[in-house]
Structure 1
Amino acid sequence: METAEIQRRFLKFFESNGHTVVPSAPLPAFEDPNLLFVPAGMVPFVPYFLGQATPDWNRATSVQKCIRTPDIDEVGKTSRHGTFFQMNGNFSFGDYFKEQAIRFAWDLTTGSVESGGLGLDGDRIWATVYLDDDEAIDIWHRQIGLPLDRIVRRGQADNMWSMGIPGPCGPCSELYYDRGPDYGPEGGPEVDEDRYLEFWNLVFMQNIRGGGPAKEGYEVTGDLPKKNIDTGMGMERMAALLQGVDNMYETDQVRPIIDKASQLTGKRYGVSTSHTASESHPDDIRFRVIGDHVRSSLMLIGDGVVPSNEGRGYVLRRLMRRAIRAVRLLGYDKPAMPELLPVAMERMSTAYPELRTDFERISSYAYGEEEAFLQTLKHGTTILDTAVSETKSEGGRTLSGSKAFELHDTYGFPIDLTLEMAEEQGLSVDQEAFRQLMTEQRQRAKADAAARKTGHADLSAYWQILQEQGPTDWKAYETLETESRVIGLLKDGQSIPVAKSGDIVEVVLDRTPFYAESGGQHADAGKLVGPNLFAEVVDVQRPVKKLVVHKVRVLEGDLALGDAVEASVDGEWRLGARQAHSGTHVVHAALREVLGPTALQSGSFNRPGYLRLDFSWRSKLSDETRSEVEEVSNKAVRDDLPVAVKYMTLPEAKDFGAVALFGETYDETVRVVEIGGPWSRELCGGTHVSHSAQIGPLVLTGESSVGSGQRRVEAATGMEAYRYLARERDLVSQIAEEIGAQRGDVLERVRAILQRSKDAERELATLQAKAVSGRAAEFAAAAKQVGAVKVAAVQAPEGTKGGDVRNLATQIRGHLPEGEPGVAAVVATAGGKASIVVAANKAAQAQHVSAAQLVKAALSGKGGGNDEIAQGGGVPADQAPQLLDAVVRAIAA
């Protein structure tokens, strides 16, 4: 049974049993500050479990896309580790509980294929329950008929479920399937979890957990408002069972990627004969890494994540680089993503058709990232070769762990490749030191993650205000002023009764006209005023859904809970923000008109007078293209296009042609902002002008790269655009006056001046070189006898450049007495550093005097060259005399 069919059957079963089918949330966990990605099917439903929001249904079902990243390095080594997976879930919000959840799971799992079930053999199913959950045991045994010897009690680490952070939790019951003696010893899940494969977890969500360890040892602090059900059936595990394969890597959505990689590399997948992935051949592990990571990369980019050096983008970059590295280690050194990613798309688009329609954008990021990484590998190889040469020249046989870590951490050069390439050149790597540095890095990362997780606890004060006072009555679209009441007052995360003059506090109002920062738009500025109060609003955020929080600096008087205040937005600020946000839409539409529909916005920020927009594009925009985008934008402004706002469902918006921007999440009902009708239609919650002419002039001020396959444009709008042009005009006028030219002739005159300057610099350099070389005979005449060798040790004149130093050394050597051993050593300083060139004549070489060895003697083993001529440098400039002394001492020895 193919994976897409399992998905169809699962959703159909629960829909027929009164559940509403809810679409998967995007992989990035935008709504939860504690998470990078959605790690479980229940995450989008957390507010309903906590009672912080009321769902539109009491029963729901979904197939949620998930990403788990803590064990990326273990992918492929075991049958249980993967990054992207799909979690089939059914949920009850205060409706049914244990008995019905267990019955649903059993009926679907063991129901015949002909009747719409999955057809597993009930005699091979085991169940685990929490230690003291006698109720669950009774349901499994008395109602389902499962023998007691196939029901296992397990502790908190295994059968008490939570997200690993403060929040909802509850005892659970897990279903395992016995795959038979080929997979391990009998005895149930506690004996062997390869043979007994977990495929469904039924969580009886009824408690709240506090802080503490992720798995066990934390305190259960209370009960949820209602008893809920959260179940998760692992799609990939069920597919492995129904398709009769050993693990998730061999299912119909992953195995074709592996087969393609096998075809490319000429290596065979399945070298191992064991059913246990942990005993696999290294090549099999690499194939699994490729299958998992290519599919994961496809799904992440599909949901708007782009490769970068931080956060979600770094996880994606790491996955892609591990996959590319694995392909190369299998022997394929050409770009692999153009071969593998289309295979992943074909397999996944049956369930996610948007992957096919958006594949041009997805592939542009993936292929661009691979190109960049191949250059990284090339650069890293050069650095590694240098490190190997230095190690050998010092007589070492082991590459330092710090150098291996630098290659891994700074250049993204995989440690496996470092080990392999060092071994090819006869060196080992200090893996212990490398692992220690990696451990220190992981500890720092864990500390950062732990700091992130405290954010959930920090949100508790906001959730409490929301529960007690209700959502903010948000009037930002309607007015700039409201009569409001203070319903929440916080300082340093703690509720306080009153704020004094000089305090900076967070204020929650029952209603507000302030726009909270979101969708790339900066928060409003303004003030709160009362009978004895004047306070400045410096920031506005929405830390939890439906609650607006104002960061306020009290300038005069006191501010207390319950106070009535007048909240007013700075009108000029809001006007500038509206101009910039509408300008962002205009620039986005202009980019798509000029470059094509794949130039999709991937991020934006705007504040009064300024906007920046990141978009998918793989190359620098030419001056002509920039001018065209700017012209199209300003024509839209000149044409005074109407700006309209419409509300509709998300499917209606997509049918309407509205662009849903990556990095944003949307409710059931969405807000569509259109400028000029179909010319620009975007889902947007920002504030906008009513006609495009109100944007005022729009000037592109910059264009740059912000990652592989991603560009950024910046622009000024309104009065800021006028001021920008005025500054440019004044600058041109000042330059024209300085060089005595008409404004229209400035460019040609400046080019002529620069050319004359370059010509003069070249002429001066030539004269200096001649002057230096002209002294070669003088320097040779001053040579001193050191043993049997005539040595000219020379400090080059100040300003002598690198090539001239080498020429001077060879010219001095040519002036030394012919037939007698002679060496010229020349040092020069530049940029605070000293370098040395040594040239030995034939007679000196015959006496076993080597220029390369003399340079290494001066530079403690560094430098390069041969017996005839060698050079090196990089030491502080004040050590120049010591370099010459070291050469003389080496010759004397």
Structure 2
Amino acid sequence: METAEIRRRFLSFYESKGHTIVPSSPLVYDDPNLLFVNAGMVPFKPYFLGQQAPQWDRATSVQKCVRTGDIEEVGKTSRHGTFFQMNGNFSFGDYFKEGAIQFAWELITTSQDQGGYGLDADKIWPTVYEDDDEAYDLWHRMIGIPAERITRRGKLDNYWHMGVPGPGGPCSELYLDRGPEYGREGGPAVDEDRYLEFWNLVFMQYELSAVRAKDDFDIAAELPKKNIDTGMGLERMATLLQGVDNLYEIDEVYPVLDRAAELTGKKYGAHSGHAASESHPDDVRLRVVADHVRSSLMLIGDGVTPGNEGRGYVLRRMLRRAVRSMRLLGFDEPSLPLLLPVSVERMKQSYPELESGFDRISQIAYAEEEAFRRTLASGTTILDTAVARTKSSGGTTLAGDQAFALHDTYGFPIDLTLEMASEQGLEVDREGFTRLMQEQRDRAKADAKAKKGGHANTEVWKDLRALGATDWRAYQELTSEAKVVGLVVDGNPVEELEPGQRGQVVLDRTPFYAESGGQIADEGVITSDGARLRVTDVQRPVKGLVAHTVEVLSGPLRVGQDVSAEVDADWRISACQAHSGTHVVHAALRQVLGPTALQSGSYNKPGYLRLDFAWGQSLSPETRSEIEEVANLAVRQDLPVSAQYMTLPEARDFGALALFGETYDEQVRVIEIGGPWSRELCGGTHVGHSSQIGALTVTGESSVGSGVRRLEAFVGMEALHYLAKERALVAELTDIVKVQPGELKDRVAGLVARVRDAERELEKLRREQVQAATGKLVDYAREVDGVRVLTHDAGEGTSADDLRTMVLDLRNRLGDAAPSVVALTGVSGGRPAIVVATNPGARDRGIKAGALVRVAAQALGGGGGGKDDLAQGGGTDATRTGEALGQVDRAVQAATQGAG
């Protein structure tokens, strides 16, 4: 049974049992604890936490998930991957343990001909929490499973919570006995390879007041409504129903692995002598390729783009691990164009949007691979230099900090460092590298813990939300009469705010726009008798609640007080212009570049907008100008701007574009500008007609990552101010060069050409002066034990290139009649340099330029190297050039005496 069919049957079964099918949320989810959705229940957390009333009593979903706890471990075993799909059914105060167990049992044991999964009932082993007699009795007495096949386990295995105070409860897991060829007999507690877990039923029935560890927490009380959260691992079930050993061999994963094996000439699983815990390196790499290609496909599909931090960094690491795994398998050509289409072919059955969006997805992925290939080329050069320095100093081990710098700064993978260092006869200080990596992880964990702690302190917002949702009036009005529902300072509720204090104000009604969808929050004032507060930010700390960050200008302000909330009208108008301008620019982009130029992020504030979009190359000035012209034509046409509400499926059928990475409710707001010309899902504020946007001028275009470009623009009065400054600059320049504006370009070009000619002439004169000075220096050569030695400090303003030219000229002038050494120092930009040359006679005496430079450069506080006949070095201390030349003299003397 194909994975897509397993998915379809699950949703169909629970829909037949009165569950509403809820579409999967994007992998990027609005939760400060998470980079990505990592469990099927994540989109339902607001209901379990009591932050929001559920829309249904029963729901079911197949949720896309990514877990990235330790990417380096992926592939080393065949049990875990990064991307997976969790089939879930949820009850919000409706059925509980009995219903959950009955549903699960019916679906998994009903024959495949009748729409079930057809698992052998005699091979299913449930586990229950050690004290959960109710669940034990249901499995034993109601379902009829023999007592010897029901295992009681402790909190580590069979108790679920979120890791923070909130709901939790015991759980029951289902395992299938795969037979003696997979391991020992005795149930899940004995061998979890033979007995494979595929389903987890969480009985959420308690309120936890403190959570110290997975198995250390306090139970405050029973929940007023008991909930069900169950999850069936789709990949696990596919493994069982397709009769394969592990998730890497199911129909959605194996084709990529197989293609990678074909391209690299490897045979997966050929090394049977390796234990499962010690997979052969080739098998590990093939699994990494299969997992990371699919995971990257899904992440890019949901709007993630490669970057250097957060979600983008995780995606970048996975793409690069896949590429380098192919390289380590012996495939040096671009691999993603050969692998990504294979993954799309398998995944499109469940996610058809991957096929329709493949142009954008592939453009981003292929650009990242090309960037990484360039990184490998530059990283190889840096590694070669580090290896050469290590060997020249007599070392046999590349320092851990050098390996870490290559990994962290240049994206050069450690396994590639190990491989290439080994090829050159060096080991790598793995202990030092691992220590630095662990320090980095510890910092990341500490940061995540701090964020989690801040998120965990949501009790004040939950309590305020329990009083009712904020009546949000941002679309209808700029001024609202309201009542103060709550006041918060430093995360704690207070009864009043005094003059000079900063805090948050929650009102029962507000006209203020809360930051979301790339649009920053409104500014304005909240006033009352004797109180005036400046609003500097507006956020939604929990769904349905609006909190205003304020500075108290006069007061005090107390809970329960009647107030007037007033948005700064000019601020709002400018913000509307910017947000509508973003939609217009997006539509213009797609008209000029084509439908693959889709927005991947945006930011707008009064008078300014920026828009990130999928595109693999910079835009020419002509293209930028065309986009700007199309956008301004739309402004001039006074196109109507309208908003309407519909369901998410209706919006998609309507042709509305959704912003990647955004999470939408079932009811969505569609903004149209000129009908189908611009039709997007959006919760922002907008103008009534496009002409109200005013002037729009594109000010910049740049790269923000592989396959992603950024456009910036001013709108309205800010655009006019920008153009006025440019006009003033042109006027000033025309006055300086004494031409008309139309002649300015030619005049400036002529001036630039004359400056370049003058610079070339000056450079020619300078070189002639250097050559003249070089001729005089020959007279300063002296003899040291039969070797002619010429050292000289050329002083400030002498570049390394100048020194090289002078050294070679002097060596030629000294000739080969006698052994000779030339060493010159100079300083350019405050940094000293040294160049040394030797002739054949000196080298015959054992005097080598590279060795002399290393000694001299140490005196300068730096390093250097080169060949026996010519070498160059540098440092940081420009006051020690004389000492560096003295070191050359001493080294020559030591070499000649040693030879003698």
TM-score norm. by structure 2 comes to: 0.97
Aligned to 1:651: 649
Match of 1:542 in 2: 540
String of CA shifts for 1:695-725, please: whole Å, max 9, x gaps.
1100001111110100111111111110000
Question: Matched residues in 2 for 1:501 and 1:352: separation?
Answer: 55
- Name 1:763's counterpart in structure 2: 761
Letter in 1 for 2:716: G
Q: Cα distance, 1:499 vs. partner?
A: 0.5
Hey, what's the Cα distance between the residues in 2 that align with 1:37 and 1:338? 26
2:634 aligned with 1:636: yes
Corresponding residue for 2:57?
58
1:519 paired to 2:520:
no
Cα distance change, pair 865–79 in 1 and its aligned pair in 2 (3 A): closer
**Cα offset for 1:552?**
0.8
Match of 2:252 in 1: 253
Q: How far off its partner does 1:739 sit?
A: 2.0
**Which moved further from structure 2: 488-497 or 299-308?**
299-308
Q: Which residue of structure 2 lines up, in the alignment, with residue 873 of structure 1?
A: 874
Aligned residue for 2:398?
Answer: 399
Deviation per residue, 1:582-630 (Å, 9 max, x gap) = 1111101100100011111111111111111111111111000010011
Identify the residue that residue 888 of structure 1 maps to in structure 2: 889
Indicate if the aligned counterparts of 1:179 and 1:197 stay in contact, CA closer than 8 A: yes
Is the partner of 1:774 in helix, strand or coil? helix
Question: 1:55, CA displacement in angstroms?
Answer: 2.2
Number of the residue aligned with 1:324: 323
- Structure 1 counterpart of 2:664, one-letter code: Y
Q: Distance in 1 between matches of 2:491 and 2:83?
A: 35
User: For residues 134-162 of structure 1, what are the alpha-carbon distances to aligned partners after superposition, in whole Å with 9 as ceiling and x for unaligned?
Assistant: 11111111111111111111111110012
Q: 1:294-313 alignment to 2 at 5 Å? A: 294-313=293-312
- 1:21 maps to 21
CA shift at 1:672, angstroms?
0.8
Q: CA deviation at 1:253?
A: 0.4
SS at match of 1:355: helix
**1:760-788 Cα deviation digits (max 9, x unpaired):** 12211211111121122321111222221
* Contact 1:781 1:816 (8 Å CA) reproduced: no
Closer/same/farther in 2, CA of residues 270 and 840 from structure 1, 3 Å limit: same
Query: Equivalent residue for 1:864?
Result: 865
> What is the 5 A alignment of 1:120-135?
120-135=119-134
Query: Does structure 1 retain, via aligned residues, the 8 Å contact 2:614–2:709?
Result: yes
Aligned to 1:806: 804
Which letter maps to 1:614?
D
* Cα offset, 1:168, TM superposition: 2.3
The answer (yes or no) to whether the contact 2:29–2:663 under 8 Å persists in 1 is no
Q: Residues 734-813 of structure 1 correspond to what in structure 2 (within 5 A)?
A: 734-813=732-811
Shift of 1:745: 1.6
**How far apart in 2 are the matches of 1:220 and 1:81?**
32
Structure 2 letter corresponding to 1:485: K
Q: Summarize the Cα distance change of 1:580–1:443 in structure 2 as closer, same or farther, 3 Å threshold.
A: same
* Distance in 1 of aligned mates of 2:857 and 2:186: 67
DSSP-derived class of the 2:546 partner: strand
Q: Which amino acid aligns with 1:362?
A: I
> Which structure 2 residues correspond to residues 810-829 of structure 1 after superposition, within 5 A?
810-816=808-814, 819-829=817-827
Deviation at 1:211, TM superposition (A): 4.8
Paired with 1:138 and 1:92, the residues of 2 have a C-alpha distance of 21
Secondary structure of the corresponding residue to residue 480 of structure 2:
strand
Distance 1:249 1:568 in 2: 58
The residue matched to 2:80 in structure 1 has which SS? coil
- Could you tell which deviates more after superposition, 66-75 or 325-334? 66-75
Distance 1:818 1:387, change over 3 A: closer
Which residue number corresponds to residue 459 of structure 1?
Answer: 458
- Is 2:378 aligned against 1:371? no
For 1:847 and 1:605, how far apart are their aligned partners in 2? 68
2:898 is matched with none
The 2-side partners of 1:403 and 1:70 are apart by 25
Aligned counterparts of 1:795 and 1:54: Cα–Cα separation in 2: 80
C-alpha contact (below 8 Å) 1:630/1:699 kept by paired residues: yes
Shift of 1:668: 1.1
Give, in whole Å, the separation in 1 of the partners of 2:314 and 2:139. 41
Whole-angstrom CA distance in 2 between matches of 1:381 and 1:866? 20
Identify the residue that residue 361 of structure 2 maps to in structure 1. 362
What do you get for the CA RMSD once the two structures are aligned?
Answer: 1.4
Structure 2 vs 1, CA of residues 184 and 232 (structure 1 numbering), >3 Å: closer, same or farther?
A: same
Q: Which residue is equivalent to 1:239?
A: 238
What is the aligned partner in structure 2 of residue 553 from structure 1?
A: 551
Aligned to 1:337: 336
- How far did 1:399 drift? 0.5
Q: Structure 2: which amino acid aligns with 1:786?
A: V
CA offset at residue 793 of structure 1? 0.7
Query: Does the aligned pair in 2 maintain the 1:51–1:225 contact within 8 Å?
Result: no
The alignment-based identity, stated in percent, is 63
| Counterpart for residue 73 of structure 1 | 72
Alpha-carbon offset, residue 276 of structure 1? 6.3
Which amino acid counterpart does residue 3 of structure 2 have in structure 1? Answer: T
Q: 1:540 touches 1:548 (CA, 8 Å); kept in 2?
A: yes
When the two structures are superposed, what TM-score results if normalisation uses the length of structure 1?
0.98
Counterpart AA for 1:283: D
Q: Which of the numbers 692, 697, 700 marks the counterpart of 2:698? A: 700
- Counterpart of 2:13, as a letter, is F
**Aligned to 2:114, what secondary structure does the other structure show?**
coil
**Cα distance in 1, alignment partners of residues 166 and 73 from structure 2:** 28
Provide the residue aligned with 1:612 in structure 2. 610
Instruction: Give 1:869 shift.
Output: 2.1
Q: Deviation at 1:820?
A: 2.1
Cα distance in 2 between the residues matched to 1:843 and 1:336: 52
Shift of 1:848: 2.4
Cα distance in 1 for residues equivalent to 2:465 and 2:816: 94
- Aligned-residue offset at 1:679: 0.7
Q: Indicate if the aligned counterparts of 1:182 and 1:275 stay in contact, CA closer than 8 A.
A: no
Alpha carbons of structure 1 residues 502 and 620: separation in structure 2 relative to 1, 3 Å: same
Residues 86-113 of structure 1: per-residue CA shift (max 9 Å, x gap): 1111111111111111111112111111
| Shift, 1:213, TM fit | 4.3
Offset, 1:797? 4.8
Deviations 1:273-325 (A, max 9, x none): 37964232111111111111111111111111111111111111111111111
Q: Secondary structure at the match of 2:875?
A: strand
Whole-Å separation in 2 of the counterparts to 1:599 and 1:557: 51
Secondary structure at 1:35 match in 2: coil
Question: How far apart, CA to CA, are the structure 1 residues paired with 2:321 and 2:202?
Answer: 34
The 8 Å contact of residues 795 and 825 in structure 2, kept in 1 or not, is answered as no
- How far apart are residue 845 of structure 1 and its match? 2.5
In structure 2, give the amino acid aligned to 1:882: E
Helix, strand or coil: the match of 1:863?
A: strand
Q: Distance in 1 between matches of 2:276 and 2:320?
A: 22
Relative to structure 1, is the Cα distance of residues 629 and 877 closer, same or farther in structure 2, using a 3 angstrom cutoff? same
- Matched to 2:695, the amino acid is P
Alignment of 1:411-422 (within 5 A): 411-422=410-421
Output aligned runs, 1:189-268, within 5 Å. Answer: 189-268=188-267
Distance across 2 between alignment mates of 1:820 and 1:148? 99
* Residues 474 and 511, structure 2, Cα contact 8 Å, conserved in 1: yes
SS of corresponding position for 1:87? strand
Contact 1:3 1:236 in 2 (8 A): yes
Shift of 1:818: 5.4
Paired with 1:814 and 1:83, the residues of 2 have a C-alpha distance of: 64
In the other structure, the counterpart of 1:7 is 7
For residue 48 of structure 1, report the CA deviation from its aligned partner. 1.9
Deviation at 1:133, TM superposition (A): 0.5
**DSSP-derived class of the 2:373 partner:** helix
Distance 1:214 1:416, change over 3 A: farther
Structure 1 counterpart SS, 2:739: coil
**Unaligned residue ranges in structure 1 (runs of 5+):** none
Q: Is the 8 A contact 2:254 2:290 kept in 1?
A: yes
Q: How far apart are the structure 2 equivalents of 1:276 and 1:361?
A: 41
Deviation at 1:511, TM superposition (A): 0.2
